[in-house]
Amino acid sequence: MEESISGFKVRGDWGDVVEHGERITRALRDAGVHDPAHDYGASLTRAFNDWEEWRPKAHETLESDVSEKTADQASVEEGKGEKAGKGPDEDIKTAGEKLSESYEQLEEDDPGAAVDNWKESIDYVARAADSAGRKALRRVEDTVYQNVMTQLAPYYFDNELISANIQQSARGADNGEQFVFEVNVNDDVLKDDVSDRLAEMDEEIDRWHVEVEKDTDAAEAIEGAEPPPKPDDNSKSTTN
């Protein structure tokens, strides 16, 4: 792994990419970002969950799964109508109802209420148009992104917690598909915590390898190797 001001980067095959994402996720969990009750707060917890959803998984592929997830998270944000759970058709219907109420209030000689309902009617029409426009734009974005942009730019993820991108590097004849995966933690204090935890993970792995190499008896037992013969007490050197 390479560490720089722009983040934590690995180069390797798909397994290396998946492992890098898992290690970053584990370091973030150790820092408490996954817990909304922690000092980092609910906002970063939501951002962490989005990262957990997007990060590459062992059973996924870059061209299909990560491409689709990238297009989804890069789409236009929801408008007021969508956030309220209302579709364009519903808002148009509500606008018509408000307009009818406005006419009734005019007939009842209540111009103040009539104007209020008329304004609400216009707002619902505008909200319906906004929702319809956003949905249409997303369909275009999704098609353009998955079929064009990912051929020119890296697959990326970006929120207040994590900025990450994956690029496919040259394919080697012996190494298969190779990738470059860079992940940056946007909060400087949290980034230092993640860096420290990643270093600890490397030390734990190195120490484990050393201990395994020293425990040759265990390795021989596992592999079924015959232990070396013990010296025969009767075969001592003698002198004539």
Give the tens place of pLDDT for each residue, 173-188. Answer: 566 789 999 999 999 9
- Sequence-ordered list of residues with C-beta below 8 angstroms from that of 141, at least 6 positions apart, any chain: 71, 74, 75, 76
Chain segment 192-217, per-residue pLDDT in tens: 999 999 999 877 765 544 444 444 45
pTM for the model stands at: 0.60
Using DSSP, state whether 161 is helix, strand or coil. coil
pLDDT above 60 for 228: no
Phi, psi for 165 (deg, rounded to 5): -150, 150
Least confident segment among 4-8, 93-97, 144-148, 188-192: 144-148
Structure tokens that stand for 48 in this block: 């962490």
- Sequence-ordered list of residues with C-beta below 8 angstroms from that of 213, at least 6 positions apart, any chain: none
Based on C-alpha coordinates, what's the Rg of the chain? 30
The answer to whether 131 touches 87, Cβ cutoff 8 Å, is yes
What residues are paired with 184 via a beta bridge? 163
